Chain A
Amino acid sequence: QKEVEQNSGPLSVPEGAIASLNCTYSDRVSQSFFWYRQYSGKSPELIMSIYSNGDKEDGRFTAQLNKASQYVSLLIRDSQPSDSATYLCAVRWGTNAGKSTFGDGTTLTVKP
C-alpha cells in the first residue's frame, strides 16, 4: 500500500462546478499536508497547506484535514478552465528536514 494515495482520476467537471479531490495517507508521524498544482510541462506549485484538523479556505480553494480518518481533501469552488491541471497531495513527515511523500496526482479537466 502506498503511503499517500489519491483518486486515480481523471476528473472532469463543468465550468462553475465544485471539484473535489481526495487523498488518504498511511499512519505515520505526519506533521503537515499540502496540495500542489502542476500544469502540463511545468513544475509543481504549492497552492494550499494545512496543519490541523478542520477546514482552511483560500479564495476558491478549501483544504480539509481529518487526522483520525487519515484523510485530506481539496475543494475547488466555481471551477475555471484555468484550474485544469494535475493536483498532487503531499504529506510531510516529522519536522525540520522531514521529507515529503507525494501522491501520484489527480488530473482535473474543467470543461467550458
Chain B
Amino acid sequence: DVKVTQSSRYLVKRTGEKVFLECVQDMDHENMFWYRQDPGLGLRLIYFSYDVKMKEKGDIPEGYSVSREKKERFSLILESASTNQTSMYLCASSTAGAYGYTFGSGTRLTVV
C-alpha cells in the first residue's frame, strides 16, 4: 500500500522555536506538497516541490521554508514558530502530471 508518512501526529512547541515537520513518501513521486488546514479557511498551499532541490512558493509561504534533499523526503521548517501557525499540517505527494494527491495523516501543531 502506498504511503505518505508524517513524522509526528501531534506536536506542541513554544513561540520562537524552530520547528521541523518531516514527510516521507515511498511511491517514487516527483511532486510533494505542504498544506495547512484551518477551520473556515480550508486547505491552503504553503510550498511545493516538483523535483529534488526544487521548490516553489504556494499561497501562504511567509514564516515557512522547505527542504528537499532526497526525492522521498520533503521537510517543512517554521523558522520561528508563532501562535498563528497553530494548525493541522498536511503533506501530500503525486506523480508527475495532473493527478490526484496522496495525503499523509497530518501533524497537528500547537504553538504556545
Chain A residues in contact with chain B, CB under 8 A?
A: 31-32, 34, 36, 42-46, 49, 51, 88, 90, 92, 94-105
Q: Report the tally of A-B residue pairs with Cβ distances under 8 A.
A: 66
Shortest C-beta distance, B41 to chain A (Å), equals: 8
Q: Which residues of B contact A102 (CB under 8 A)?
A: 35, 42-43
Chain B residues in contact with chain A, CB under 8 A?
A: 30-31, 33, 35, 40-43, 45, 48-50, 56, 58, 90, 96-106
Asked, given contacts A43-B106, A44-B90, whether A100 binds B101 with beta carbons under 8 Å apart, the answer is yes
For B43, give the chain A residue with the smallest CB separation. Answer: A102
**Bound complex: CA A34 to CA B105 (Å):** 19
**Bound complex: CA A45 to CA B105 (Å):** 10
Q: Which residues of B contact A103 (CB under 8 A)?
A: 42
Residue in A32, A45, A46, A104 whose beta carbon sits within 8 Å of that of B98 in the complex? A32
Is there an interface contact between B105 and A99, defined as CB atoms closer than 8 Å?
no
